[in-house]
Structure 1
Amino acid sequence: MEAECEQVHGGGGEEEAGADEAMLWSFQEAVERQTLQIGASACGATAVVDVLKALGVDVAPEEADRCVQTRPRRNESPLPDYLLSRSEAGATHSQLIQGAQEASEGKVAGRFFHFHPRRRVRLIPWLARWIRKGAVPVATMNMQLAVPEGEEVPDAWHHQLVFGVAPHAVFMTNPLDVGSEEEVHQRLCSESVLLIRREDVLQRLTPDCCLSSLSESQSDPRWKALDIEGQVRQMALEEEQEPDRPKLAHITIPAAYSSGITLFALRGSQLGHQLLHAPELPLL
């Protein structure tokens, strides 16, 4: 998969001085105002708390989580149900939009922009334009891409509020982080798949485990196309091999999430109207 979104040059205003810089909060404000993860798999609800805060709507974290309807991992379930729970644990961008709307009693609206398949857009100038207008971005990223060499592959996707951009840099909360334009681009431009670690599969694999039910019972054809049963069978066979032979580190399952940027604004504002009626980013 060619995951990195193409960067192409737009015309006019994007080349003006300062086109690559915009901040919702200063670094010090971000340190003081950011919300740290409010619960397991609740990065989406955490981002919504900060979105509402940035738009002047104070909501208790528990209320935001209730409105987002964060889905848990079912860690104690047999392997098939565990894999289903992993494919949707946390929240999608649709849940973030619905949660922000409900928690704000209709004051806040959100609009998601897909970045996969690749789009004709320059990420940082595009974000800067919206931030300068007062929009609040949340990035939905596949953190299993653009993993620094030597680091362990993360276990999940992640939602992070973007509180500013500068040339070649994206500033985010939860955790407070600076991502390079290249790595953020890659994580924003991902197929909707999730890697599940070998140990998480094998410790739940039992002799009576029936993985064929995943491909037969799910309406999403990707469960069949990815041959989950075949991947798990391969892992199990590898356990009988010599210890020093290479083994699969992960299996790949479908994910409920889509990679991209959700922009939030006050619904009744001119910006809110502009946001809701903005065209999709054009495909490359």
Structure 2
Amino acid sequence: MLWSIREALERQTLQIGVSACGATAVVDVLKALGVDVAPEEADRCVQTRMRRNESPLPDYLLSRSEAGATHTQLIAGAEEASKGKVIGRFFHLHPRRRVKLVPWLARWIRKGAVPVATMNMQLVVPKGEEVPDAWHHQLIFGVAPTTVFMTNPLDLVSEVEVHQRLCSESVLLIRREDVLQRLTPDCCMSSFSDPRWKALDVEGQVRQMVLEEEQGQGKLTHITIPAAYSSGITLFARLQSELGQELLNTPELPVL
């Protein structure tokens, strides 16, 4: 444990702004490593991207695909906000890796590293609950044999559940109503330069949703678009430490 549950309750930073879970995690990472930074400064350094809710559908979808922050932004933001004192190293967990998550996290936490999970929250949704509409960054402040302890919100989640959310393709589900209310007659979905938009046939998904709406059906509840995020764990440490150098020199986790 980096913090006890009581300490986490007292010390955790709650979401500092819209789409700012990444910057929020960075505030607590720096706090855990002994570097105090104002939330506004962390957010500025992370360069949180916002959703463009008033835009027509193509631009809205583009903004959704990158809203918030990627692990790269978290690493750069922590480094800038700490004036170079803190570094981060991201470990991909998709495709699935040969790793036992809790023991792996425990080893790094014991050494003093501060983990942040980048997870697709749209996976492993409990039956009857609404599908969340975003990915999420959460600081991990401890682990137990089958449980992961996280902040923002303070949460105790099973290792199995966390691991599934940490092993996701870089995609995002967009709700039916968010698509249809921004659709215009002159909407052109073929302007995206990233080939993943074509590979996922986002334009065809939208057409299918419109067709179902015209026919009074409602089968397609979401469309799937590419996401800027990668699922995995970022480990943070002080640069001028043995741990910092070890992090930089550690190889990627092997693919299963």
TM-score, normalised with respect to structure 1: 0.89
Counterpart CA distance in 2 for 1:226 and 1:33 is 42
Shift of 1:246: 4.5
Tell whether 2:250 aligns with 1:250. Answer: no
Q: Deviations over 1:202-258 (max 9, x none)?
A: 0000111111112xxx1x21011111110000000111223xx44100000000000
The equivalent residue for 1:147 is: 125
Which residue of the other structure, out of 261, 268, 274, is the alignment partner of 2:240? 268
Alignment of 1:57-72 (within 5 A): 57-72=35-50
Q: 1:228 corresponds to which residue?
A: 202
Q: Deviations over 1:132-163 (max 9, x none)?
A: 00000000000000111111000000000000
Instruction: State the alpha-carbon separation in 2 of the partners of residues 97 and 201 from structure 1.
Output: 32
Matches within 5 A, 1:184-223: 184-214=162-192, 218=193, 220-223=194-197
- Structure 1: tracts of 5 or more residues without a match: 1-22
What is the rounded CA distance, in whole Å, between the counterparts of 1:71 and 1:146 in structure 2?
Answer: 26
Which whole-Å CA distance do the structure 2 matches of 1:239 and 1:247 have between them?
Answer: 9
Structure 1 residue ranges (4+ consecutive) displaced by more than 2 angstroms after TM superposition? none
Residue of structure 2 equivalent to 1:93: 71
> What's the offset of the Cα at 1:98?
0.2
- SS of 1:213's partner is coil
What amino acid does structure 2 have at the position aligned with 1:247?
Answer: K
Distance in 2 separating the partners of 1:152 and 1:186:
18
Quote how far apart the aligned CAs of 1:120 are.
0.2
Amino acid at match of 2:220: L
State, as a whole percentage, how many aligned pairs show the same letter.
85
**Matches of 1:282 and 1:26 in 2, distance apart?**
32
The residue that corresponds to 2:255 in the other structure is 283
Matches of 2:124 and 2:48, distance apart in 1: 26
The Cα of 1:117 is off from its aligned counterpart by: 0.3
In the TM superposition, what is the alpha-carbon distance from 1:127 to its structure 2 partner?
Answer: 0.1
User: TM-score scaled to structure 2, two decimals?
Assistant: 0.99
